């Protein structure tokens, strides 16, 4: 039975991760190590973290909708393409050896930073959400679904890069689509972890309560702060995560 200090710590980290995940990504780099630090093994920590991810994105969706920022028909269409990959990835996650994945992800993160700081033409939100999407968008969704089901850590960065550049959407709408997509593919992934008995419900629900609060306010910040502030948070979060994955701290 966890003591109150452990639950408070997990709740606090959940709030911080929820805020970071909605505006950028990499919040799981905080929550997964914390779950392991509290005594869970890797597989159970991975599964328990999905409870927080699920409720975090559910909260963010309601926050975006409450502020009239939604294109849920398009979001759902994109999310459907992540489901096959997420299911396959979650099955592989039962016996995960992710050292090579972490190194590859670190390189990807550096690539994201480079694309963010290089001069580029201004990208504005697509006015028509039913606009025909590039085939590569859906291919990217399948691959991201696999990675999200498999590891989850840093999937927000990959989604933001794909949606921002392939769909030409602003970062505010990218964040809205991102939380919806992650919510949908998290459902089968979480069910797989539950079925394989890799979930600690006490820690998971405590984490989720913090994730939900952080995500709610993260969505509000995303809309009020706009693309400029989202980019700043994204660059900081990606830089820190890349350094961590390279083992520099």
Q: Which residue has the higher pLDDT, 113 or 214?
A: 214
- Identify the pLDDT of residue 163: 85
pLDDT for 212 beyond 50: yes
pLDDT of residue 125: 47
Q: Give per-residue pLDDT as tens, 75-88.
A: 999 999 999 999 99
Is the pLDDT at 119 greater than 70? The verdict is: no
Contact between 181 and 159 under an 8 Å Cβ cutoff? The reply is yes
Predicted local confidence at residue 127, as pLDDT: 44
CA distance 201 to 208: 10
Q: Considering the chain, what is the average pLDDT of its residues?
A: 80
**Whole domain around residue 201: which residue ranges?**
4-245
Residue 241: the pLDDT is 62
**Residue 145 phi/psi, 5° resolution?**
-60, -45
The arithmetic mean of pLDDT across residues 146-166, rounded, is: 82
3-state DSSP helix/strand/coil % of the chain, to nearest 5: 80, 0, 20
32-62: per-residue pLDDT in tens? 878 888 888 877 888 899 999 999 999 999 9
Q: How far apart are the C-alpha atoms of 146 and 126, rounded to whole Å?
A: 27
Q: What is the DSSP code (8-state) at residue 196?
A: T
Q: What is the CA radius of gyration of the chain?
A: 17
pLDDT top residue among 130 and 245: 245
In angstroms, the CA 54 to CA 5 distance is: 24
- Does 151 score more than 90 pLDDT? no
| Residue at token pair 């989604």 | 159
Q: Are 171 and 23 in contact (CB under 8 A)?
A: no
Our count of domains for the chain comes to: 1
* Residue-level pLDDT at 80: 94
Which of 70-79, 109-118, 209-218 is the most confident on average? 209-218
What confidence category does residue 102 fall into, taking pLDDT thresholds of 50, 70 and 90?
Answer: low
Q: Would you state the pLDDT for residue 99?
A: 61
Q: Is residue 142's pLDDT more than 50?
A: yes
């Amino acid at each position: 039975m966890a003591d109150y200090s452990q639950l408070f710590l997990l709740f606090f980290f959940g709030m911080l991760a929820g805020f970071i995940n909605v505006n950028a990504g990499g919040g799981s780099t905080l929550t997964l190590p914390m779950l392991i630090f509290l005594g869970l093994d890797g597989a159970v920590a991975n599964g328990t973290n999905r409870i927080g991810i699920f409720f975090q994105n559910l909260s963010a969706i309601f926050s975006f909708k409450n502020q009239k920022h939604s294109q849920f028909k398009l979001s759902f269409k994109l999310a459907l393409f992540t489901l096959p990959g997420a299911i396959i990835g979650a099955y592989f996650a039962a016996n995960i050896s992710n050292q090579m994945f972490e190194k590859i992800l670190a390189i990807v993160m550096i690539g994201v930073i480079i694309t963010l700081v290089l001069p580029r033409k201004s990208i504005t939100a697509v006015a028509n959400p039913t606009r025909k999407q590039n085939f590569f968008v859906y291919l990217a969704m399948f691959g991201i679904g696999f990675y999200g089901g498999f590891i989850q850590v840093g999937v927000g960065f990959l989604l933001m890069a794909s949606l921002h550049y392939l769909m030409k959407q602003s970062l505010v709408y990218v964040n809205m689509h991102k939380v919806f997509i992650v919510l949908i593919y998290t459902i089968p992934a979480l069910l797989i972890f539950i079925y394989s008995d890799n979930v600690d419900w006490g820690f998971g629900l405590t984490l989720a309560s913090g994730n939900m609060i952080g995500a709610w306010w993260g969505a509000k910040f995303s809309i009020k702060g706009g693309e400029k502030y989202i980019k700043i948070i994204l660059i900081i979060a990606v830089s820190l995560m890349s350094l961590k994955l390279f083992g520099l701290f």
